[in-house]
Amino acid sequence: MTVALENTTTTTIHGDRVSLLRVLGPAHVWALGVGIVLVGEFTGWNFSADKGGALAALIVCWVVGLLYTSVAMIDSEVTSTVAAAGGQYAQAKHIVGPLMAFNVALFLVFAYTMLEVSDAILLGDTIVAKAGVEGLTHNSFIAATIVVLAWLNYRGVLMTLNVNFVITAIAYVSIVILFFSVSPWTQGAVLKLNELVTPGNALPYGWIGVIAAFQFGIWYYLGIEGTTQAAEEVRSPARSLPYGTMAGMITLLIAAAMTWYVCASLMPWEYLGITYYPLWDAGKLTGSPLLENLLFIATLLAALASANGCINDAARAWFSLGRDRYLPSWFSAVHPKYRTPYRSILFLLPIALAFAFIADLNQAITFSILSGVLQYTFMSINIMMFRKKWPLGSIRRGYTHPFHPLPAIVLFCLCVVTFFAIFLGFGSQLIAMVAFYFLISLWFHFYRYKFVRRGDQFTMPWPKPQGY
Amino acid sequence: MWVALSYACWGISIVLALWMLYDWFKVDTNYSEDVLTSSREGELEAVSEKHRI
């Protein structure tokens, strides 16, 4: 309480201004990042087995892990320096320019809103599958998920991310419990990896199957970059953001490895690649009702945590666009009591509900992944420009990532491979999405940008970039 | 039980949605637009980060 009051004082400028509240620590950053992502272990990653077999799912687990480790390192460096709501949007605005920033903000809003929609559909479908009642539909559960979480986000960021921390931790611990319950050190007792993954069926479609598996391998870690949206609400961005993001990435690498090992040792790849509930199914296959129910609850909690974090992040990105007048400034309102971007939260609520009621899970997931990969491609270019314009030593950085420019090159190359993989499975959606961003960019350039106060949008007290 | 839970979900959703709409209306009528949209990016950074190395 004392901390909250102190921060209220420090973030209210001149007494008649309201801004977001700086109350978060590294644990909240971890809860935001891992909370958004962990649902990918409960569903999503396993479709990579359908594309390329069980071994392909493991290969992409590590290779895509490399992609996201690069994302986490690059993000930590830039965000610990550009600590503002909007995350990658604020980075793009200062480092690349307004048009890139506008596009990045839309990538963010689409990626998180579509992921929120996917989470709500998953939660509704999981409850309906468990109930087994004829005539019961998922709509009421979808509505409750989106509205209750929007209400939580409306009421304050601290409670929102405290809840996320608890439910994410329970979901994570359930994976650990499952892992140790099946005697992972002994093959043959419960796990049968030697029988299920053989040299004959490990890569049923060869190496092209591994490339195709990238599309769903993204699900092991999709959303960890969402930690940066909390930049304006953490007490110490330079310390909390790198700690929270890197700890989150380590947590997810461990969870992904355990999930693959247990699921690939219990289910043949033909089934693993099509089920919507790989971990819940793994719980059932152990024969333990306790594990089955634990994994059912954990699937629901992971979906809730992800949707909760997505509402938080999408609203911050939308709010930032309004604050810079890239969209009407009406969206930049902050609630005077709860200190949240309440109009952005409310505006995105019916949009999420509409998509959740009319879209199917595959479409929503594909739009989310596409927007995410577009954003990662930007990040690889962004960090190269950041280091060139403001070399080490010219401005203070909270964190400096090692081996530059290797992570940026690795990230860019893996994004190209992922685009190719998405094109193989969802070519028309990829083209439609790129056409949408092209048209909206024209609208921004020729119409909307005239409303922007050009001098006000660049807020970081940095020296002039090199070469300018 | 599941059907009752489904109706409870609709009820909770409607109540919370109405509460948010009421609060939105209350805030927008009690505070001026200038105050509500007064947040500025980078204000704290401007105070705490001088970037002198």
- Nearest residue of chain B to residue A12 (CA atoms): B39
Cα(A33)–Cα(A308) distance, integer angstroms:
11
Cα(A128)–Cα(A360) distance, integer angstroms:
15
Cα(A256)–Cα(A66) distance, integer angstroms:
13
pLDDT(B45) > 70: no
pLDDT score recorded for residue B44: 54
Of B41, B52, B53, which to mutate for an interface test with A (greatest number of A Cβ within 10 Å)? Answer: B41
Candidate from A5-14, A119-128, A269-278, B43-52 with smallest mean pLDDT: A5-14
Q: Which residue has the higher pLDDT, A451 or A1?
A: A451
* Nearest alpha-carbon partner for A327 in A88, A115, A147, A86: A86
Number of domains composing chain A: 1
pLDDT score recorded for residue A15: 55
Distance between first and last Cα of chain A = 46
Contacts A–B by Cβ distance under 8 A: 122
Given a contact cutoff of 8 angstroms between Cβ atoms, the answer to whether A163 and A152 are in contact is yes
Number of domains composing chain B: 1
Give the pLDDT confidence of A291-300 residue by residue, as tens digits. 999 999 999 9
Placement of tokens 């929503």 in the chain: A364
The ipTM estimated for the assembled molecules is 0.87
* Residue burial A306-343, b: 16+ Cβ < 10 Å; e: rest: bbbbbbbbbbbbbbbbbbbbbbebebbbbbeebbbbbb
Confidence class for position A458, pLDDT limits 50, 70, 90: confident
Give the pLDDT confidence of A349-380 residue by residue, as tens digits. 999 999 999 987 777 788 888 888 999 999 99
What's the CATH number where A327 sits? Answer: 1.20.1740.10
Mean pLDDT of A456-461: 79
Are A144 and B50 inside 8 Å of each other by CB? Answer: no
Confidence class for position A327, pLDDT limits 50, 70, 90: very high
Question: Is residue A373 one of the residues assigned to a domain?
Answer: yes
pLDDT(A11) > 60: no
Q: Above pLDDT 70, what percent of chain A?
A: 97
Given a contact cutoff of 8 angstroms between Cβ atoms, the answer to whether A331 and A320 are in contact is no
Give the pLDDT confidence of A131-162 residue by residue, as tens digits. 998 889 999 999 999 999 999 999 999 999 99
Question: Is residue A184 one of the residues assigned to a domain?
Answer: yes
Given a contact cutoff of 8 angstroms between Cβ atoms, the answer to whether A202 and A53 are in contact is yes
pLDDT score recorded for residue B42: 67
Question: Is residue A205 one of the residues assigned to a domain?
Answer: yes
Question: Is residue A330 one of the residues assigned to a domain?
Answer: yes
For residue B20, the enclosing domain spans 1-52
Interface of A with B in 58-117 (CB under 8 A): 83-86, 90
Question: Is residue A462 one of the residues assigned to a domain?
Answer: no
Give the pLDDT confidence of A40-84 residue by residue, as tens digits. 999 999 999 999 999 999 999 999 999 999 999 998 899 888 878
Interface of A with B in 377-396 (CB under 8 A): 393-396
For residue A432, the enclosing domain spans 2-451
Distance (Å) from the alpha carbon of B8 to chain A's nearest alpha carbon: 9
Q: What is the mean pLDDT of chain A?
A: 91
- Nearest residue of chain B to residue A21 (CA atoms): B39
pLDDT(A12) > 60: no
Give the CA distances from residue A41 to residues A169, A233, A256, A390, in Å, rounded to whole numbers and listed in that order: 14, 28, 6, 38
pLDDT(B26) > 80: yes
Confidence class for position A5, pLDDT limits 50, 70, 90: very low
Question: Is residue A161 one of the residues assigned to a domain?
Answer: yes
pLDDT score recorded for residue A2: 37
pLDDT(A125) > 90: yes
Are A461 and B23 inside 8 Å of each other by CB? Answer: no
Question: Is residue A459 one of the residues assigned to a domain?
Answer: no
Cα(A323)–Cα(A327) distance, integer angstroms:
8
